[in-house]
Amino acid sequence: MPHIQSGDLVARFYALFEGWGIPWIVPRLIVMLVVVSIIILFISVVAMFLIWWERKISAHIQARFGPMRVGGWHGWAQSIADGVKLLLKEDIIPTRADRPVFILAPMVVFAAALAAYVVIPFGPGLIVEDLNIGILYVIAISSLAVVGIIMAGWSSNNKYAALGALRSAAQAVSYEVPLVISLIGPVLLAGSLSTTKIVEAQRYLWFIVLQPLAFLTYFTCAVAETNRLPFDIPEAESELVAGFHVEYSGMRFAIFFLAEYANMFTVCAIATTVFLGGWRGPLLPPWLWFLLKTFFLLFVMMWLRWTLARVRVDQLMDVAWKVLLPLAFANLGITGLLVWAFS
Amino acid sequence: MTTVNLHLQQVKEQTGESMEEMWVNMGPQHPSTHGVLRLLIKLDGEVVRECIPYMGYMHRCHEKIGENRAYVQIIPYTDRLDYLASMYNNWAYCLACERLMGIQIPERAEYLRVLIGELQRIASHLIWLGTFGLDLGNFTLFMWCFREREMVLDLFEAVSGQRLNYSFMRIGGLALDVPEGWLGDVKAFLQWFKPRLPEYDRLSTDNIIWQKRIQGVGILKPEDAVSYACSGPVLRGSGIRWDLRKNDPYGIYDRFEFDIPVGTSGDVWDRFWVRRQEIDQSVRIVEQALKDIPPGPVLAPVAKKLRAPVGDIYSRVESPRGELGDYIIADGSEKPYRYKVRAPTFVNLSALPVMLPGYLVADAVAVLGSVDIVLCEVDR
State the average pLDDT over residues B215-224.
86
Contact B207 A309 (CB under 8 A): yes
Chain A residues in contact with B361 (beta carbon < 8 A): 163, 239-240
On the question of pLDDT at A341 being above 50, the answer is yes
Structure confidence by residue, pLDDT tens digits, B264-316: 888 889 999 999 999 999 999 999 888 888 888 888 888 778 888 888 889 98
Considering the domain B62-379, what is its CATH architecture?
Answer: Orthogonal Bundle (1.10)
Virtual CA dihedral for A192, A195, A201, A202, nearest 10 degrees? 140
ipTM of the prediction greater than 0.85, yes or no: no
* Residue B31, helix vs strand vs coil: coil
Interface membership of B255 toward A (CB under 8 Å) = no
B134 touches chain A (CB under 8 A): yes
Q: What is the pLDDT of residue B31?
A: 67
Query: Chain B 169-228, CB below 8 Å of chain A: which residues?
Result: 203-204, 207, 209-210, 212-213
- Confidence band for A2, pLDDT divided at 50, 70 and 90: very low
Distances in Å between the Cα of A286 and the Cα atoms of A128, A280, B106 are 16, 6, 76
Spatial distance between the Cα atoms of B238 and A264, rounded to a whole number of angstroms: 43
CB contact under 8 A, B137 and A238: yes
| Each residue's pLDDT tens digit, A95-145 | 888 888 888 888 888 888 888 888 888 877 777 777 788 888 888 888 888
**8 Å CB contact of A237 and B363:** no
**Size (chain B), residues:** 380
Per residue in B143-163, pLDDT (tens digit) is 889 889 999 999 999 998 888
Which member of B137, B140, B143 has the closest CB to residue A310? B137
Q: Given an 8 Å threshold on Cβ–Cβ distance, is B137 in contact with A240?
A: no
Domain segments of chain B as ranges = 3-54, 62-379
Contacts of B207 in chain A (CB under 8 A): 308-309
DSSP state at residue B169? E
CA distances (Å), A143 to each of A180, A224, B249, in order? 11, 12, 62
How far is B163 from B144, CA to CA, in rounded Å?
18
| Cβ pair B137:A229 closer than 8 A | yes
Interface of A with B (CB under 8 A): 58, 61-64, 159-160, 163, 167, 229-230, 232-233, 236-241, 306-315
- Give the whole-angstrom CA distance, residue A185 versus residue A339: 10
* pLDDT band for position A1 (cuts 50, 70, 90): very low
Instruction: Report CB contact under 8 Å: A240, B361.
Output: yes
Long-range Cβ contact pairs of A321-330 (< 8 A, separation 24 or more) = A321/A174, A324/A175, A324/A178, A324/A182, A324/A217, A324/A220, A324/A221, A325/A177, A325/A178, A325/A181, A327/A178, A327/A213, A327/A216, A327/A217, A328/A177, A328/A178, A328/A181, A328/A182, A328/A213, A328/A214, A328/A217, A329/A181, A330/A213
Out of B31, B138, B360, name the one closest to residue A313 (CB): B360
> With an 8 Å Cβ cutoff, are A311 and B213 in contact?
yes
Q: Which of B22, B30, B136 is nearest residue A309 as measured by Cβ atoms? A: B136
The highest-confidence range among A197-206, A268-277, B35-44, by mean pLDDT, is A268-277
At residue A203, the pLDDT reads: 81
Would strands B47-54 and B311-319 be described as parallel, antiparallel, or unpaired? unpaired
Chain A CB contacts of B363 below 8 Å: 312
**Digit-coded pLDDT (tens) for B169-207:** 888 888 888 888 888 999 999 999 989 888 888 888 888
At position B370, the amino acid (one-letter code) is S
Of A134-143, A156-165, B22-31, B45-54, least confident by mean pLDDT is: B22-31
Report the chain B residue with the minimal C-alpha distance to residue A316: B209
CB contact under 8 A, A233 and B360: no
Write down the pLDDT at residue B44: 78
A322 DSSP assignment: I
pLDDT of residue A38: 86
For residue A47, pLDDT beyond 60: yes
For residue B259, the SS3 value is: coil
Q: How many CB pairs under 8 A join A and B?
A: 81
Q: Is B372 left (phi over 0), alpha (psi -120 to 50) or beta?
A: left
Question: How far is B207 from chain A, CA to nearest CA, in Å?
Answer: 8
